[in-house]
Amino acid sequence: MAIEVIDSADAASLARFDMIIDVRSPAEFAEDHVPGAVNLPVLSNEERAEVGTIYVQESRFRARRIGAAHIARNVAGYLERELADRGGGFQPLIYCWRGGQRSNAMATILDGVGWRTALLAGGYKTYRREVSARLYDAELPHRVVLLEGPTGSGKTELLGLVAARGVQILDLEGLAAHRGSLFGGLPGIDQPSQKMFESRLLGALAALDPTRPVVVESESSKIGERMIPPALWRLMEAAPRIALDAPAEARARYLVAAYREITEEPAALNEVLARVPDRPGRKRLAEWRALAEAGDFEALAGALIALHYDPAYRRASRKDARASLASIALPAVTQADLAAAADRIAGLLVDAGERLPGEPVRA
């Protein structure tokens, strides 16, 4: 049976395969991979380093022989374990770094089994070109609506409530594994690489219906250390917005409840205070740390809101010329407030077929 070679890595081309197999090393896979791909490395991290060293320092022939032995053993293991339950109609797509020896070696074996095996020409690099073209060069077709509001107004939680009501959302902070503020990364989770963030983003965008509105939380152009790609950022800059409004005292209470793991860990809280970009000065920083040591976290959150978050939000709002779809008051930022806000947003956006106020006209 001839091995099929495909040269496109768009979502439609990849969707017809039963399994996308990434045969690169675990380290390469961890940096980035095709969404949904399964890592069945033909060379482990250590084996890849060993073969590379022998290839450069000793003999190309010896490197290939040792590499072939490793590959044969590893693929045999996958046939006995991960692929053991696959029937005769199984259709895998295989790729490596650039469609070279690693993917061809595994494809030859799987083809010999009798499976309808395909190779991605150019490997991961072909896929990466697809990501770059879509997120850097092209215009995305999606209809973005921004959810904005001052810190502590429950935007991230509200995003989930809106999704439960049938509205499309794009959770950028979830994709970037970062809260997009001084409060930093998610507990116990490292941020993905920029490439992995873009892969996650492209996968999420592909799952959305571009004819229906999609709610995106308002962010700066970077979420932690990850940059929002230009194609999406252009949509966000032009998108109409829904603004939340809540009293500072209520937002301070909400922050204390939402970030309890930080208030319970002094070292984590000190890191947050150290990241304040406005240089609060030794005296003010000492006052904030004294509030933390006394357990008066609401007063600390209120101080951060008044002296850092709200001034930054007002500066950004003065420059914002985007159309407003609605302004929603959250008197206490309670679960009831957020549920009512989600109901209102769903009423505005579910099954919205016409162009929204302020939405860019598309050619």
With beta carbons less than 8 A apart as the criterion, state whether 151 and 255 touch: yes
pLDDT tens-place string over residues 28-66:
999 999 999 999 999 999 999 999 999 999 999 999 999
Instruction: Please check whether residue 67 lies inside any domain of the structure.
Output: yes
The CATH number of whichever domain residue 170 belongs to comes to: 3.40.50
For 181-223, write each residue's pLDDT tens digit.
766 666 678 899 999 999 999 999 999 999 999 999 999 899 9
Helices (H), 36-184: 45-57, 60-80, 101-113, 123-132, 155-164, 172-176
pTM of the model: 0.89
Contact at 8 Å (CB) between 144 and 29?
no
Last residue of a domain, one of 86, 103, 133: 133
Q: Are residues 145 and 21 in the same domain?
A: no
Q: What confidence score (pLDDT) does residue 353 get?
A: 57
Strands annotated E in the chain: 4-6, 19-22, 38-39, 92-95, 118-120, 143-148, 168-170, 213-217, 222-223, 226-227, 241-245, 324-329
Type of residue at 40:
L
Please tell me whether residues 54 and 162 are part of one structural domain: no
Q: Are residues 297 and 222 in the same domain?
A: yes
| Residues 128 and 181 reside in one and the same domain | no
The contacts of residue 359 (CB under 8 Å, 6+ apart) are: 143, 239, 240, 323
Q: Is residue 363 part of a domain?
A: no
Q: Are 100 and 123 in contact (CB under 8 A)?
A: yes
User: Is pLDDT larger for residue 318 or for residue 333?
Assistant: 333
- For residues 153 and 270, membership in a common domain is answered with yes
In a domain, 13, yes or no: yes
Q: Give a yes or no: residue 361 inside a domain.
A: no
Query: Which pLDDT value is given to residue 363?
Result: 46
Lowest mean pLDDT segment, chosen from 86-90, 154-158, 178-182, 207-211: 178-182
Does 131 have pLDDT greater than 50?
yes
What mean pLDDT, rounded, does the chain reach? 91
- Residue 30 falls within a domain, yes or no? yes
Residues 40 and 189 in one domain: no
Active site residues: 96
Please indicate, yes or no, whether residues 127 and 9 belong to a single structural domain of this protein: yes
pLDDT of residue 67: 95
Q: Can you give the pLDDT at residue 124?
A: 98
Pairing of strands 213-217, 168-170: parallel
SS3 244: strand
Last residue of a domain, one of 111, 133, 155: 133
Q: Check whether residue 58 and residue 98 sit in a common domain.
A: yes
* Residue 120 placed within a domain: yes
Backbone φ, ψ for residue 257 (5° rounding): -70, -40
CATH number at 21 reads 3.40.250.10
**Strand partners for 185:** 178
Strand order in the sheet with 92-95: 4-6, 118-120, 92-95, 19-22, 38-39
Instruction: Please provide the size of the chain in residues.
Output: 363
Query: Do 173 and 290 sit in the same domain of this protein?
Result: yes
C-alpha distances (whole Å) from 17 to each of 9, 41, 130 are 12, 19, 18
Specify the range with the lowest mean pLDDT, choosing from 68-72, 116-120, 286-290, 330-334.
286-290
Amino acid at 55: Y
Q: What percent of the chain has pLDDT over 90?
A: 74
- Is residue 230 domain-resident? yes
Number of domains in the chain: 2
Domain that holds residue 31: 4-133
Bridge partner residues of 177 (DSSP): none
Q: What pLDDT is recorded for position 151?
A: 92
Higher pLDDT, 362 or 111: 111
Do both 145 and 99 map to the same domain?
no
85 & 232 share domain: no
198 with 298, same domain: the answer is yes
Q: Please identify, among 133, 161, 194, the residue that sits at the C-terminal boundary of a domain.
A: 133
Residue 351 has pLDDT above 70, yes or no: no
Residue 87: closest CA among 65, 112, 64, 113: 113
Report yes or no on 268 lying in a domain.
yes
